[in-house]
Amino acid sequence: MLQRLRQYDVYTKGVEGIQERTTGGAIITLTSLVVVLLLFLSELGIYTTTEVANRMYVDVDPQDTVMHVEVDITFLHEPCSDVAMDASDTKGNREVIVQSDVVAYPLEDEKEGCRFKGFVDLKKIAGDINFAHEGSLNMFTFLEFLDFNSSHIVHSLRFGPSIPNMVNPLENVHKVVIENFKLYKYRISIVPTQYTPLYGSPVQTYQYSVTEHASDPNENGRFSFPGVAFSYEFSPIKVEYIETKPSFLQFLTSTCAIVGGVFAVARILDGFVYSVSAHKVD
C-alpha cells in the first residue's frame, strides 16, 4: 500500500545518485494538489463575480433633461370621472410636461374606484404630480368637493428605468384616509443616478426617498384641491454605480502565483520532513 502511495511523490530525493520517492512526499504532494484546487476555485469565483463600485459627484445635467416617470395608482372610493392627473413645477407652470399618457381604468365589479396607470415625461425641474378632484381643472359642485376621499394604493411610482438592486419606496403602498376632504402628500427627494454595466451603455435613472402626511387642502394658507400629490425635488449630488471585475491577466497571474507558491512551500516542507526522518534513521 505504502509502495503504491509513494509513486505520487513529485519531490524525489537524490541519495547517492538514486532518486527516492517517499510516503511523506506523496502525502504532501496530494495535499498540495487539494490546496491548489481549492485556491483555484476560489480565484475562479472572484474572477467570475461582478462587483459594483460607487462614486458621487455634482450633478451637471441640464434642466431640460427629460425624466420618464411611470405611475400606477388606484383611488379606492372615487370614480374615474372625479379624478384628474396634472403636473407642474413649483410655480404651477405646466410646461414641464413633455409627454403624458396616463389611462384611467374603472375598477371591475366595483361601483366606485379608479386605477390610473401610464407614464409622464417631465423636464428635470422640481415640481408636483397631482391626482386631484376633476374640479381642479373644471367646474364642480361644492358638495362633491367636500365628499372627495383620498384613500388610495400606490402600486408603483418609478422615476426612470430600473437598475440592479434598486429600491422604490412607493411600491404597493396602501393608505386609508378616514376623513374626506384631505390632501395626502408625498414629499420625494430624488437622487440622479447612473448605472454603468460591465458591458453596454450607461443607464440614467433616479433613486428617491420619501416622507408623507395627510393635511387639509388649505394648510399653511395655501389652498390645494383634495387628492394625492407627489411633490419632488432633486439632490445636487449624482451617484454612479460601476460594475467591475478582475481582468483575465489578473486571474492568470493570481493562478500562476497560487500554483507556484503552494508547490514551493510544499517542496520546502517535504525537504524538512525528509531530513528529520533521515536523521532519526541514522
- Please, which pLDDT band fits residue 221 given cuts at 50, 70 and 90? low
pTM above 0.75, yes or no: no
pLDDT of residue 202: 93
User: Considering only CA atoms, which of 52, 215, 217 is closest in space to residue 133?
Assistant: 217
| pLDDT at position 279 | 57
Among 102, 99, 134, smallest CA distance to 116 is for 102
pLDDT in tens, 64-79: 899 999 999 999 999 8
Q: Which three cell numbers stand for residue 68?
A: 420618464
| pLDDT classification of 280: cutoffs 50, 70, 90 | low
- Do the beta carbons of residue 160 and residue 195 sit within 8 Å? no
The residue among 93, 131, 154 whose CA lies nearest residue 226 is 131
Beta-sheet pairing, 183-196 with 203-215: antiparallel
Spatial separation of the C-alpha atoms in residues 241 and 260, rounded to whole Å: 36
C-alpha cell belonging to residue 181: 376632504
- The enclosing H or E element of 46 equals helix 23-48
Nearest to 53 by CA among 198, 152, 156: 198
Q: What's the pLDDT tens digit per position in 196-212?
A: 998 889 999 999 999 99
Which pLDDT tens digit goes with each residue over 147-189? 889 999 999 999 999 999 899 999 999 999 888 888 899 999 9
How far is residue 258's CA from residue 268's CA, in Å, rounded to a whole number? 16
